[in-house]
Amino acid sequence: MTPTFPPEVVGAVQALAGAVLLTFLKPALENRDTVGSRSFTAFTVGAAVWIFAYAAGNLTGDYTLSMLAWNFVMLGAASTAASWFLLSLEVTDRITLARRVVPIIVAVVGITQLVAFTNPLHHLFMQPESYIEGKFLHIEFGIGFWVHYTLTYLLTLLAVGVFLIESIRTTGIRRRQALLFLLATVPVVSADLLTFFTDIFDPYNITPFGYLITAGFLGLVLFKGRFLDIMPVARRTAMAEMNDAMVVVDDESRVVDANQRARAIFDVGDDYVGMAATDFFSPMTAATVADVIDETGADSEITVDMDGTDRHFSVTVTPVGSSTSRGSVILLHDITERKQRESTLETQNERLDKFASVVSHDLRNPLGIAKTYLDFAEETGESDDFEATREALERMDTMIDELLTMARAEASVEDTEPLELTALASDAWQTAQTDGASLELDVGDTTVVGDRELLQNIFENLFRNAVDHNPPPITVRIGELDATAEGFYIEDDGSGIPEEDREEIFEHGYTTDEDGTGFGLSIVQEFLAAHEWDVTVTESSDGGARFEIYTDP
């Protein structure tokens, strides 16, 4: 077939295609430490050698030089197919497999090229019947060439399969990269098949022109798919299978990649690529997000309110990318349970300190008094000394009982039930020492949910507090809080509690009664906290003390 275009024009356009491909060496070399950069570099060089060799064949009319150019065509084709396959393995996190097959591929490529360059000795690649007509080399291919051709297509098809699987099983930037790599294969393969199995473009090989289209897809994968720029450190083993949330953002604080854990925590769908980091981390304030991203290379801890519940995260931010375009990998490890354990441990340690105080100080005083009066009683036999000893021992017995009661507040309330407030208060009134006092109930059929024993102890302690700190007669009233708060109050018509003392009365050991233990109101507060309730002290309508108990907001 007579060529439509002069071979010099075709050769020049082919050389231009090779030059275009070589421009991709710059980002590859700038990111030479990035996984995939070496195989991408090898692919670019191999494809350029392939194309330049075709161009040289169209520009020379010498048989020997044309045959030599064809040797480089086969070298470029083999290198391109091999590096494309390795690239597919590396960018889909099959690094170990890639390293294992490298020696095999290098050996196969080396052997085929040795056979190709020694073709004049055996003619396995190109038969002696090959001839040159004008500037066009007409080749009769031998069995060696078709083995070589089959191997290159086998590697190419394997790469296509790897990219296809990756595009199906991943999302976001990973899927975009895989699809672009997949599409980049189509123009070259199509052009090559049209060249070898049809005579439409005879005598020219249009594969180099296919590379011009492929170069467009490679540009997209580099700049839109962020390949080599922010190489997804978020690989499948590091992202999809990890329990921690990992998010990759670019230099403009846009999300490039995120694993399933991150998308689940922050309730983000699959359409997250390109989303602003402030939108992705929407439960966080914009200022918090900015602080997190700015803490490059540092570890920090943040607390995020998610649906009314505080979640705690340790945050590690690692810079990634090239010298011209930087991004960050943000790793968030959920430490909520650890924080809760630390809080529980802190509470337990505080309680142990209280117990140690009671044992070392509060119990020692009445014990010392009992010993002293016992010595007096042995010497004098006076009944007053025995009575003083008995009172000291009874005080110790009370303190031990209250100490054991406080220990019950260590565990969270788990066994709860609905309890009628009227019945609960009446039972507590019967067991508390309330001589000289009366109870008024104005709660109707109001119910509360909690631990019966702990709640009854709360009522008993508040009833005794009113009776012990006020002379008879005294009236204790229980009623519901107004509509602005959910809860109830317990108040009396006694002398009340001075405003400056209202915070201190709940402190462990605080008492204004020399015979008191200082545990009663401390126990009340601990038991209420165990129910996630709160209490405030104010003045009753009669000037006495009023304890308002309500759900902790």
Query: Which one, of 404, 406, 379, 376, lies nearest residue 392 by Cα?
Result: 376
Q: Is pLDDT above 60 for 410?
A: no
Q: Chain-centre distance of CA 505, in angstroms?
A: 44
Q: Chain-centre distance of CA 378, in angstroms?
A: 73
Task: List, in sequence order, the alpha helices (H) in 5-36.
Answer: 7-22, 25-30
Mean pLDDT of the chain: 80
**Can you tell me the mean pLDDT for 239-243?**
60
The token pair at 528 is 């209420």
Q: In which order are the strands placed within the sheet that holds 533-539?
A: 437-442, 474-480, 487-492, 545-551, 533-539
Q: In which order are the strands placed within the sheet that holds 309-321?
A: 255-258, 245-249, 326-334, 309-321, 299-306
Q: Is pLDDT above 50 for 486?
A: yes
Could you count the other beta carbons within 10 Å of the beta carbon of residue 474? 18
pLDDT band at 488 (very low <50, low <70, confident <90, very high): very high
pLDDT at 440: 93
pLDDT at 2: 46
pLDDT in tens, 360-382: 555 665 677 777 877 887 788 77
Q: Are residues 547 and 459 in the same domain?
A: yes
pTM (whole model) above 0.85:
no
- Percent with pLDDT over 70 in the chain: 83
Q: Is pLDDT above 60 for 231?
A: no
Q: Which residues contact 439 (CB under 8 A, 6 or more apart)?
A: 425, 426, 429, 463, 475, 476, 477, 478
pLDDT at 227: 73
Map tokens 């953002």 to a residue: 249
Q: Are residues 171 and 270 in the same domain?
A: no
CATH code for the domain in which residue 383 is found:
1.10.287.130
Q: Does residue 90 sit within a domain? A: yes
Q: Which residues contact 401 (CB under 8 A, 6 or more apart)?
A: none
pLDDT band at 489 (very low <50, low <70, confident <90, very high): very high
Domain boundary among the residues 379, 394, 410 is at 410
Q: Are residues 83 and 149 in the same domain?
A: yes
- The answer to whether 303 and 312 are in contact (CB under 8 A) is yes
Separation CA 430–CA 189 (nearest Å): 93
pLDDT at 551: 75
pLDDT in tens, 349-364: 776 676 665 555 556 6
CATH code for the domain in which residue 512 is found:
3.30.565.10
Query: Which one, of 21, 28, 125, lies nearest residue 80 by Cα?
Result: 21
**First and final C-alpha spacing in the chain:** 88
Q: Is pLDDT above 90 for 517?
A: no
Domain boundary among the residues 175, 193, 223 is at 223
Q: Are residues 314 and 371 in the same domain?
A: no
Q: Are residues 354 and 319 in the same domain?
A: no
Task: List, in sequence order, the alpha helices (H) in 63-171.
Answer: 63-91, 95-117, 119-122, 143-169
pLDDT at 234: 42
Range of the domain at 29: 7-223
Q: Are residues 391 and 418 in the same domain?
A: no
Q: Are residues 271 and 210 in the same domain?
A: no
Q: Are residues 26 and 165 in the same domain?
A: yes
**Number of domains the chain contains:** 4
Q: Are residues 151 and 274 in the same domain?
A: no
- The answer to whether 85 and 159 are in contact (CB under 8 A) is yes
pLDDT in tens, 64-92: 888 888 888 888 888 899 999 988 888 87
Q: Does residue 486 sit within a domain? A: yes
Q: Does residue 525 sit within a domain? A: yes
Could you count the other beta carbons within 10 Å of the beta carbon of residue 221? 22
Q: Is pLDDT above 80 for 406?
A: no
Tell me the angle at which helices 336-357 and 383-407 cross, rounded to the nearest 10 degrees: 180
Question: Long-range contacts of range 462-466, CB-CB < 8 Å, 24 or more positions apart?
Answer: 462/490, 462/524, 462/547, 463/428, 463/429, 463/432, 463/434, 463/437, 463/439, 463/490, 464/432, 464/433, 464/434, 464/520, 465/520, 465/521, 465/545, 466/437, 466/490, 466/492, 466/494, 466/544, 466/545
Q: Is pLDDT above 60 for 330?
A: yes
Q: Which residues pair with 477 in a beta bridge?
A: 440, 491
Q: Are residues 402 and 328 in the same domain?
A: no
CATH code for the domain in which residue 278 is found:
3.30.450.20
Q: Is pLDDT above 80 for 228?
A: no
At CA 196, angle to CA 195 and CA 198, rounded to 5?
70
pLDDT at 358: 55
- The answer to whether 194 and 206 are in contact (CB under 8 A) is yes
**Can you tell me the mean pLDDT for 257-270?**
83
**Can you tell me the mean pLDDT for 492-505?**
88
Q: Are residues 306 and 207 in the same domain?
A: no
Q: Which residues contact 499 (CB under 8 A, 6 or more apart)?
A: none
Q: Which residues contact 318 (CB under 8 A, 6 or more apart)?
A: 233, 296, 297, 328, 329, 331
Q: Is pLDDT above 90 for 238?
A: no
Q: Does residue 2 sit within a domain? A: no
Q: Does residue 237 sit within a domain? A: no
pLDDT band at 512 (very low <50, low <70, confident <90, very high): low
Q: Is pLDDT above 80 for 148?
A: yes
Domain boundary among the residues 223, 253, 283 is at 223
pLDDT at 395: 67
Q: Are residues 423 and 545 in the same domain?
A: yes
The token pair at 375 is 């010595």
CATH code for the domain in which residue 93 is found:
1.20.1070.10
Weakest mean pLDDT among 31-40, 318-327, 373-382, 444-453: 318-327
- The answer to whether 138 and 70 are in contact (CB under 8 A) is no
Q: Which residues pair with 301 in a beta bridge?
A: 314
Q: Which residues pair with 328 in a beta bridge?
A: 249, 319
pLDDT at 544: 94
In terms of Cβ atoms closer than 10 Å to its own Cβ (0-12, 13-18, 19+), residue 188 is buried
Q: Is pLDDT above 70 for 405?
A: no
Q: Does residue 129 sit within a domain? A: yes
CA distances 472 to 249, 433, 461, 493, 494, Å, are 72, 13, 17, 10, 9
**Can you tell me the mean pLDDT for 294-310?**
72
Separation CA 52–CA 71 (nearest Å): 12
pLDDT band at 484 (very low <50, low <70, confident <90, very high): low
Weakest mean pLDDT among 229-243, 270-284, 312-326: 229-243
